[in-house]
Amino acid sequence: MGYFELAIIGATASGKSSLAIEIAEVFDGEVLSLDSLSIYKEIDIASAKPSKIELQRVPHHGIDIIYPDEYFSVVKFANLYKNISQKLQKSSKPLIITGGSSFYLKTLLDGLSPTPQIDNSIKRKVKEYLKYPDKAYNFLQKVDKNINIKPNDTYRLEKALEIFLATDQPPTLYFKQNPPKPIIQEIPIFEIVWEREELRKRITKRTQQMVKMGLVDEVAELESKYKNRTLTPLKAIGIKEVLDYFDGRVSKEQMREKIITNTARLAKRQNTFNRSQFEKNIKRASLSQMKDEIFLQVQKISED
Which of 60, 50, 51, 106 lies closest to 80, judged by CA?
A: 60
Dump pLDDT digits (tens) for 2-20.
899 999 999 999 999 999 9
- Helix 133-143 to helix 154-167 angle, to the nearest 10 degrees? 50
Q: What pLDDT score does 261 carry?
A: 98
What is the percent of the chain with per-residue pLDDT over 70, rounded to a whole number? Answer: 99
Contacts of 228 (CB under 8 A, 6+ apart): 69, 234
What confidence tens digit (pLDDT) does each residue in 68-82 have?
999 898 989 999 999
Q: What's this model's pTM, rounded to 2 decimal places?
A: 0.88
Task: List domains and CATH numbers for the chain.
Answer: 5-112+182-303 (3.40.50.300), 120-177 (1.10.20)
Residues ≥6 apart with Cβ < 8 Å to 238: 45, 46, 47, 207, 210, 215, 259, 263
Count Cα neighbours of 20 within 13 Å in the Cβ-side half-sphere: 33
* Residue 210 · residue 304 · CB < 8 Å: no
The pLDDT tens digits of the residues spanning 34-66 come to 999 999 999 999 999 999 999 999 999 999 999
Tens of pLDDT, residue by residue over 157-167, are 999 999 999 99
Q: Among residues 41, 22, 32, which one has the least CA distance to residue 59?
A: 32
In the predicted model, is pLDDT for residue 301 greater than 80? no
To the nearest 10°, the Cα dihedral for 38, 269, 202, 188? -70
pLDDT at 195 over 70: yes
